[in-house]
Amino acid sequence: MKSILISKQDKILKGTISLPASKSISNRLLMIRAMSGKDFCISNLSDADDTRLLQKLIALVSVGPGRKNVLELDAANAGTVMRFLTAWLAIKPGKWVLTGSERMKQRPIGILVEALKHLGATIDYLAKPGYPPLLITGSFLSETEVTIDPGVSSQYTTALLLLAPYLPHGLILHLKGRNVSTPYVEMTIRLMEIFGARIKAGKTRIHVKPGTYNPSEYMVESDWSSAAFWYESAVFADEVDLELEGLKFESLQGDSILPVIYQNFGIRTEFTHTGVRLTKVHKKIDGFYFDFTDYPDIAQSVIVTCAGLGIRGRFEGLKSLQIKETDRLRALKNEIEKLGIKVVVTDKGDAMPALEISASKPVVKSGIAFETYGDHRMAMTMAPMALKLGTLKILNPDVVEKSYPQFWEHLKVTGFEIA
């Protein structure tokens, strides 16, 4: 297996980083553009693998099944691609097989499929019920109302919302259960409204009126989720003066909460005309608690931040982490325990799982090899530990292509050595 060796001989973090564009915004915009049928300009579109893949599959759908009658589309390990296309293909004339990687075939999609079937969709499971691959026959969706459990993945809700204006009578979506990743649903609604959708949204009911998306040029903001690894690095450094370009104070992204979280660790965030500037004051902290229900994509960075500091931590709202590119809770436990720190994952059936770490200074052992489990965020989360360990190894480093292809080069800009 390919690996890289990361080292940092000093604890100085300085430089200017141009963060990648938001993958979450980019993928939603691609779906809005595809459904509109109009080719409007999206500036600063993400160059992440997931976004490139979605572009490719949308292009294939636009051509159609052709003489094959059935067109197979491979979503690989991209959750948004699988879920957004499942909803869109339900109304696209033709027959479509939507599949993915072996891990994707273990990630549930039954909640979304059953909601679409209730609306009138024709979708069959080709293997295990509730999971990809799917056979989708594009059809007329006549029903107007559906109830969905938003407590597993916000992407199910988003997929239905993005489709909703193109249903004959719009959609009334009832949300039953505890919402997760609410900011991502709010992002979807805001983008839909920018492009002309008429929506009335409450906590348990969202009404989308029938209509179309109006073409309009749009510039994608930089990705707050990707900033998490730099905030983590700033905590581990002794001296910090780091500029992260492209981040906005008034952001569509829920992960813009990072400055609030990391001020607890002594990281100061100054908003500038180009982004943010991070500096540091040394601050003593004995423990940290946080509920990540609305912010799952930054959970790994915050948890490893606490582990690297050797402080106790308790983290809740982690249920959606179990169905990501890997089971991120088990992955975190495995990798953090390599530092000699005890990790307890509490998962009692349908209860929201929690993760706790003990107050124990990490064992400083140069050259520890960290697994990435095919998960881009695991790779980028463990890399900043080089500031603590001096040298570490990352296995399968190419996984960062999924969301932040320039990550390893950006580490070099700030003085990390990579071999």
Burial of 273-305, coded b for 16+ CB within 10 Å and e otherwise, reads eebbbbebeeeeeeebebebbbbbbbbbbbbbb
Residue 315, H or E segment:
strand 312-316
Q: Which residues does 250 contact at the CB level (< 8 Å), separation at least 6?
A: none
CA atoms within 13 A on the CB side of 240: 26
Residue whose C-alpha is closest to residue 404's, from 230, 223, 162: 223
297 is catalytic: yes
- The rounded distance, in Å, linking the Cα atoms of 272 and 222 is 14
Residue 352 near residue 338, CB atoms below 8 Å:
no
Q: What is the DSSP string of 12-23?
A: EEEEEEEPPBPH
Annotated catalytic residue, options 50, 294, 297, 375:
297
Residue 135, H or E segment:
strand 134-137
Read off φ and ψ for residue 23, nearest 5 degrees: -70, -35
Residue whose C-alpha is closest to residue 159's, from 31, 257, 44: 31
Residue whose C-alpha is closest to residue 117's, from 92, 151, 146: 146
Tell me how many degrees the CA angle 81-86-90 measures, rounded to the nearest 5: 145
In this structure, what is the dihedral angle of CA atoms 364, 366, 372, 378, given to the nearest 10 degrees? 40
Name the residues annotated as catalytic: 297
